[in-house]
Structure 1
Amino acid sequence: MSPRKRRPGIERGPWTVHGEKLVYQNPWMKVREYDVTRPDGKPGLYGVMEPENLAIGILPVFRDGSVMLVGQYRFALDCWSWELPEGGGPLNEAPLESARRELAEETGLEAANWLEFMQLDMSNSITNERAFAFIAWDLEMGEAEPEGTEDIETRRLPFAAALREAMDGRIRDAFTLAMLLKADYMARHGELPEAVTRAILNPAGKDDPHGPR
């Protein structure tokens, strides 16, 4: 069967969009279906999940070189997952403000210093979700206030140990892997603030007169 003749539509790269409809919506996401002509000229459908929030991730680095992981059950995969603190930020809110809130809610931590060090496209074949990642340091501990959908545990361990767990498969969350690897690369290439680099690469804290925190 020969490919159907292209109807008038909107060009979207090598695709042609002839129509779209909203097929599902809840407070956290929408699913939109597109009637398309594929790059090979054949008719098709394309579904896109559109989150109502940005993805926000935080790498909290203590002065002694340790980091804080958050553990929780992930419903979609039916499994427990250890991750760096993550959450959603409203599309109309500055990502940094969302990051401050998420860190405090999940861990009780507040940071005096912040650095946005990465942006990501998440699972870009099926969703238009965008992610922002921050390093937080000069940390102070407070009380965590998780949301009702979150049953959270926390675990503090050296940065190198967290990176090792990411490399051997004990940590599987893609956003966490990306943050740990990017921070390690940037530290080794002198692209992070000195205090963060020193904590990551010299975790003993021997050169810090204030000791670990």
Structure 2
Amino acid sequence: MKNPWTTISKKEVYDNPWIKVEEHQVITPTQKKGIYGKVIFKNLAIGILPLDENGYTWLVGQYRYTVDEYAWEIPMGGGPADQTALESAKRELKEETGLQAKEWTELLKIHTSNSVTDEVGYVYLAKGLTQGETEFDDTEDLKIWHLPFNEAYQMVMDGQITDAISMAAILKTAVLLKR
């Protein structure tokens, strides 16, 4: 479809190593002048749902500064532009859980909040797992939880897991497992 928005100008209002924020002067689809804020992510969002042969998965718990609460999530992180999403997924899984996988399946491509950001995420299902040592980043204080996949699914259904990437990965995997 043709883009109904017209961009008159863009101005950078903030920049750090992870994001850039722009202010756009626009003409809206209804032909009115307007303003649009856009958050540009400098990395891909990467998520991994590890699943072992017994139907168990791993969640990572950490305090999320932006929402001011503790969260259980699938292992995830940022993928630099000079790496493929799969390379980043392999690194993140090892860093956060110590796991390495023999089988990788792309579960989904997701836009995390397409109303304010261009962030795109890739989520993988990892199988054929072997346990090793974690390699946490110096900003991470993570708890690792090995639990039945069905419990993680129930946490989504009960509202205990609220991270969008984790929810999408767990729900899609539940559908795939039922097929």
TM-score (norm. length: structure 2): 0.97
Aligned counterpart for 2:44 among listed residues 54, 73, 83: 54
Q: Does 1:166 align with 2:166?
A: no
How do residues 133-152 of structure 1 correspond to structure 2 at under 5 angstroms?
133-152=123-142
Letter in 2 for 1:153: K
Structure 1: tracts of 5 or more residues without a match: 1-11, 190-213
Residues of 1 paired with 2:156 and 2:178: CA distance? 18
Aligned to 1:26: 16
Deviates more, 1:31-40 or 1:121-130: 31-40
CA root-mean-square deviation? 1.0
1:154-179 deviation line (CA, Å, top 9, x unaligned): 00110111000110011111111100
CA deviation map 1:166-213 (0-9, x unaligned): 100111111111001111112222xxxxxxxxxxxxxxxxxxxxxxxx
Instruction: Look up the equivalent residue of 1:29 and give its one-letter code.
Output: I
Look up the SS of the partner of 2:171 in the other structure.
helix
1:1-213 residue pairs with structure 2 within 5 A?
Answer: 13-189=3-179
Any idea what the Cα deviations from partners look like across 1:10-40, whole Å, max 9, x if unmatched? xx71111111111110000111111111122
- Could you tell me which runs of 5 or more consecutive residues in structure 2 were left unpaired when the two chains were aligned: none
TM-score normalised over the length of structure 1: 0.81
SS in 1 for 2:67: coil
In 1, Cα distance between equivalents of 2:93 and 2:19: 22
The sequence identity of aligned pairs, in percent, is 46
Structure 1 stretches of 4+ with a deviation exceeding 3 A read none
Aligned length: 178
How much does 1:116 deviate? 0.9
Take 2:178 and 2:69, find their aligned partners in 1: how far apart are those partners? 33
The whole-number CA distance in structure 2 between the counterparts of 1:92 and 1:122 is 21
